Amino acid sequence: MQIAFDARSLNTGGTGDSTYLRELVAALAKANPNDRYRLYANAPDAARDDLAAAFDNVSAHSLPYKIGWLWNQNALVPHLEEQGIALLHSQYLLPRRFKGAKIVTIHDVSFREHPEWFPARPRFIMNLLIPRSARTADVIITGSEHARRAIAKTCNVSLDKIIVTPYAAGAWARPVDADAHRDILQKYFLETPFLLGVGLRGIRKNNQVVAKALDILARQHKISNIKLALCGSAEQFPDEVASHPNVQFLGWVPQCDLPPLYASAAAAVYPSLYEGFGLPVLEAMACGCPMICSNATSLPEVAGDAALQIDPHDAGAWAEAITKVLLDEALREKMIDGGLKRAQEFSWERTAFLTTNIYRNPAP
């Protein structure tokens, strides 16, 4: 069987879209050596080439076209028809003209439920094309039951058409030894205790509530020595976070540095207002880091009872949760153990198995 992917998201760096496609294709290629996975984009891409080099049954293909949002319609479809490829898997956007089986992964519909978070032009294009892709698809894949129900409601499609294939932490997310802790603290000029925030850029990530919680810790709990370490640079965050004296920006952090950073942190925080899944929650737990996350949208499905789940609007509740993790060592150890076990309940092998079943029978 040949499966074509619109693989343009691989060129978007460390986003959830690129992580999903990279991990899924690798797991599919391992599980199904007799199938062929063809990764298409509109330009050369090192990430796509690396996947193709790693697996004999994965290939990379570039089809240049000047108008990005028409690429899959005017460049990809004619090529797939010429090659006789009968199944296309894409994220968010599908070409209507393709006559084969059409699978689309839609991670969330925040553009529909919170349009105020998006600039006008991208919002217009997403509202025009993504619901159309949902209705065109034979099957819609998503990562959580929350996302499944939101897609059905906002895109006017049947729940029966949408299949949940939960995602997972990558193999890189694992506990590390004490030597790595010391080295990472020196590299990033960090002092313990600190909170770690990964993947928190953007309005909906709501890092302001943790900054406000730090003020409450200092004022009401007399805890003023803890910092919030955020991956990224100050200009990528709201002013109230960028200028906060107890927020430290780590800049770009390579994936190999994340396990020791997580392991060195007093806790990881993920106060997002809206998620279709929430991979950083699983990644932190897989690295042995206590997780304090929002109780909104899909995050309770991901975290289970292994994390402290807090109202994303209640800075006082965040301050209380942080205090508990800092001062209660028994609680912290329980959260680490529970988080490791929770992360093990998810795997890309399982995601690949569920996705392969969809490829074999793409009728809703």
Q: Which residue has the tokens 């992964």?
A: 105
Residue 70 has a pLDDT of 78
> Helix axis angle, 315-327 relative to 329-344, nearest 10°?
100
pLDDT band at 45 (very low <50, low <70, confident <90, very high): confident
Mean pLDDT score, 114-129 = 90
Asked if residue 93 belongs to a domain, the reply is yes
Q: Is residue 163 part of a domain?
A: yes
State the pLDDT at residue 47: 86
Higher pLDDT among residues 119 and 221, named by residue? 119
**Which long-range contacts does 82-88 make (Cβ < 8 Å, 24+ apart)?**
83/2, 85/2, 85/3, 85/4, 85/38, 86/2, 87/1, 87/2, 87/3, 87/4, 87/359, 87/362, 88/3, 88/4, 88/5, 88/6
Beta bridge partners of 232: 251
pLDDT of 92: 92
| pLDDT value at residue 12 | 57
Domain range for 36 is: 2-168+347-360
Nearest to 89 by CA among 152, 7, 16: 7
Residue 140 placed within a domain = yes
- Tokens matching residue 3: 């499966």
Cβ(350)–Cβ(168) below 8 Å? yes
Same domain, 162 and 284: no
* Banded model confidence at residue 142, pLDDT cuts 50, 70, 90: very high
pLDDT beyond 70 at 178: no
| Per-residue pLDDT tens over the stretch 187-246 | 999 999 999 999 988 889 999 999 999 999 998 878 888 999 999 999 999 899 999 999
Write the CATH number for 163.
3.40.50.2000
Q: Is the pLDDT assigned to residue 334 strictly greater than 80?
A: yes
Spatial separation of the C-alpha atoms in residues 306 and 105, rounded to whole Å:
27
Same domain flag for 199 and 254: yes
SS3 assignment, position 217 = helix
Structurally, the chain folds into a number of domains equal to 2
- 206, 313: one domain: yes
pLDDT category of residue 360 using cuts at 50, 70 and 90: very high
Q: Which pLDDT score, from 0 to 100, does residue 9 have?
A: 78
Give the pLDDT score at 182. 82
146 and 195 belong to one structural domain: no
State the pLDDT at residue 181.
78
Co-location of 238 and 263 in the same domain:
yes
Residues 67-111 pLDDT 10s: 776 788 888 999 999 999 999 999 999 998 899 999 999 999 999
Using only the alpha carbons of the chain, give its radius of gyration. 21
In a domain, 173, yes or no: no
Indicate whether 236 and 150 sit together in one domain.
Answer: no
Statement: residue 363 has pLDDT above 90: no
The verdict on 158 and 226 lying in the same domain is no
30 plus 79 within the same structural domain: yes
Tell me: do 156 and 9 sit in the same domain: yes
Specify whether 148 is located in the same domain as 10: yes
Specify the pLDDT at position 264. Answer: 93
Mean pLDDT, range 27-32, rounded to an integer = 98
Q: Give the integer Cα–Cα distance in Å for 354 and 362.
A: 12
Q: What is the pLDDT of residue 296?
A: 96
Q: Which residues contact 9 (CB under 8 A, 6 or more apart)?
A: 15, 17, 18, 20, 21, 91
Does residue 244 lie within any of the structural domains? yes
Q: Are 282 and 353 in a shared domain?
A: no
Residues 155 and 17 in one domain: yes
The answer on pLDDT for 13 being more than 70 is no
Specify the pLDDT at position 226. Answer: 93
E-state strands within the chain: 2-6, 36-41, 58-62, 87-91, 101-105, 139-142, 162-164, 194-197, 227-230, 247-249, 267-270, 291-294, 308-310
The answer to whether residue 11 scores a pLDDT higher than 70 is no
What is the pLDDT at residue 247? 95
Inside any domain, residue 98 = yes
25 assigned to some structural domain = yes
Average pLDDT score, the chain? 93
Average pLDDT over residues 345-352: 98
Distance CA 58, CA 40 (A): 11
For residues 298-314, average pLDDT: 97
Residue 150 is assigned to a structural domain of this protein: yes
Percent of the chain as helix, strand, coil, to the nearest 5: 50, 15, 35
Share of the chain above pLDDT 70, in %: 97
Q: What is the pLDDT of residues 256-301, one digit of tens each?
A: 999 999 999 999 999 999 999 999 999 999 999 999 999 999 999 9
Q: What is the mean pLDDT of the segment spanning 3-15?
A: 77
DSSP type of residue 159:
G
- Distance (Å, whole) CA 271 – CA 345: 23
